[in-house]
Amino acid sequence: MKRSIGVILGLCVAGFALAQAPFTIVRPAEGSKVREQVRVLIPGDSIPDSGYIGVFVGGKFVEALVPTKKDKFYEYVLDTKARNIPDGNLRIEVVLYVDFNDAPRIVDRSSVDVQVQNSANIPIPEEGISLRYKFRPGTHLIYNMTQRVAISTLTQTQNQLGGRAAEFPLESETVRLLYAVDNAYGNGDGLVRMQAMPNRGKDYAMLTTLDAQEPRKFYDYEMHPIYMRLTSRGKEVFGSIPFYVPMEGSAGESSRMDLFASYPLPVLPEKKVKPGDPWSAAFQWGSLPQTGLHEQTSVVQNFDARGQFVGVEWEMGFPCAKIQHTIEAGTRSIEGIRLAQEGRDFTDEKVAMSETIWFAMDTGKIVKIIRDIVVDRKIEQPAQGAGTGAPGAPGVPGTAGGGGKVMPGAPGAGGPTMPGGRGGAGNLDLLQRGGYQGGGKPTGGMDPDLGGGGAPTGRGGATDRTGGGAAAPQFVRLKIQQIFVLEK
């Protein structure tokens, strides 16, 4: 009886498979040259309702899923760069599974051999290449900059025992940024206008500035430009924020707070470079002045960094030079870096910064930047009443808005268990506000003394006043990632 049931089940499986269209990889074709994201297409009626696929790349299992259906095909996207698949021959195989009696059965399989070429066909002269921006008047480039923040905490005992800190993602936020070339000069310099933009299809964006704890709505007329004259390497010649005077009698202008976005383009190497070449680089950080918002001649701070030409690869369809800038772990906070370079001590906070840049060599523009910032801080707990409150996240080291002061964010005090409130961690550290009070006099942010300055301090948790004795210090790590991508 059991044997008969097994024969019937086997016939059902075979018949079910025959009822479907052939399960096969339609694209890419056999022997195709592929790069970046590979779209694997399978006929739309070849996978039954109870079916799903397993994906194997180079003979190794990757994942099992129900692929997305688009028009007449199921589509699976294999990101060869995200999966660190090297250039060369590669077999992509998909296996069709169907569940019977709560057990998966392999019904069919299909494979295709392709050639990955993420770094192919991008020639570099023997003497190296001179990487330069190509400023053309009338060019408008829009980028999406997303900032993600996570915090992890560890007690001193856990740290000594080699424990691994639990990581708590805080939040992320995205802003659209415009880079418009308004003029070009004979020596290769360009006049670039930089400002925040509304969300697509909207006349506003919900954004969090350095002086705020929560996002607020900014309309397009509140988003004001910063002008920079840049050399063809991206180095600032001067920076300026035009003074704006509202029309007399305009409604609501007396208390308006305008938005400025400062995210300078990276500085390219001075000399010709080849893959593998290092150089002394400048890590360019957006900064509005401490006083005189509309009188400044610079909107950046430069920090010494190490640059390296990692190699060439295709990114978003562009042949790119892949560059890295790094400030090694163990250096001081962002403000402390500047002071340390002047020979002065500042803080025990440690920070490591790196950015990976994809620069399109044919069009002379940035395609993508991934910037990672890791801030480590040791927090001494209070000697009395050390309780179970939550420490606030270290504030993102910020820069001042008009009339403001450059202030690093500080952690809130509290107990050793869980991370506390936002503490400035989620704020977009490139967005700052400046206001116009009575007749257009500029002030900096909500507080004229602090302006849109450094990130607000973290909010510590409540302490337990019934406790006693000194609490062990806590180690807090703040991870910030900024992803800057050319909008398609």
DSSP for 112-172, written as a single string: EEEEE-SSTT----TT-B-------TT-EEEEEEEEEEEEEEEEHHHHHTT--PEEEEEEE
Token pair in block for residue 130: 């001179």
Q: What is the mean pLDDT of the chain?
A: 75
DSSP for 203-229, written as a single string: SEEEE--TT-SS-EEEEGGGB--EEEE
CA distance 117 to 36: 8
Q: Please say whether the beta carbons of 306 and 299 come within 8 A.
A: no
Read off the pLDDT of residues 440-461 as tens digits, 9 standing for 90 and up.
333 333 222 222 333 333 333 3
Q: What confidence score (pLDDT) does residue 212 get?
A: 76
CA distance 351 to 409: 13
323 pLDDT above the threshold of 90: yes
- Residues ≥6 apart with Cβ < 8 Å to 374: 329, 351, 352, 353, 477, 478, 479, 480
CA distance 448 to 441: 11
Give the angle subtended at the CA of 26 by the CAs of 25 and 32, to the nearest 5°. 90
Q: Please say whether the beta carbons of 453 and 444 come within 8 A.
A: yes
Ranked by mean pLDDT, the top range of 48-62, 168-182, 243-257 is 48-62
Read off the pLDDT of residues 255-313 as tens digits, 9 standing for 90 and up.
456 788 889 999 999 999 999 999 999 888 888 765 667 777 888 888 889 999 999 99
The predicted model scores a pTM of: 0.76
Collapsing DSSP to helix, strand or coil, 339 comes out as: helix
CA distance 159 to 141: 46
40 pLDDT above the threshold of 90: yes
Task: Tell which wins on pLDDT, 242 or 107.
Answer: 107
For the chain, give every residue range classified as CATH 2.60.40.10: 19-116
For 206-228, what is the mean pLDDT?
Answer: 87
350 - beta bridge partners? 376
Tell me which H or E stretch contains 10.
Answer: helix 2-18
Identify the CA nearest to 53 among candidates 16, 91, 95: 95
Task: Tell which wins on pLDDT, 193 or 216.
Answer: 193
CA distance 195 to 180: 9
149-158, 311-320, 365-374, 435-444: least confident range: 435-444
Q: Give me the half-sphere count of Cα atoms (radius 13 Å) on the Cβ side of residue 313.
A: 23
421 pLDDT above the threshold of 90: no
For 178-187, what is the mean pLDDT?
Answer: 96
Q: What confidence score (pLDDT) does residue 233 get?
A: 96
346 pLDDT above the threshold of 60: no
Q: Please say whether the beta carbons of 455 and 396 come within 8 A.
A: yes
Token pair in block for residue 188: 């290769």
State residue 99 phi and psi, 5-degree precision: -80, 130
Read off the pLDDT of residues 105-161 as tens digits, 9 standing for 90 and up.
999 999 999 999 999 999 999 999 999 999 999 999 999 999 999 888 766 555 555
CA distance 469 to 386: 7
CA distance 306 to 15: 64
Task: Tell which wins on pLDDT, 398 or 54.
Answer: 54
Q: What confidence score (pLDDT) does residue 146 get?
A: 94
Can you give the C-alpha Rg of the chain in angstroms?
A: 28
- Confidence band for 439, pLDDT divided at 50, 70 and 90: very low
Q: What confidence score (pLDDT) does residue 469 get?
A: 52
Architecture of the CATH domain 19-116: Sandwich (2.60)
For 417-437, what is the mean pLDDT?
Answer: 46
144-158, 209-223, 343-357: least confident range: 343-357
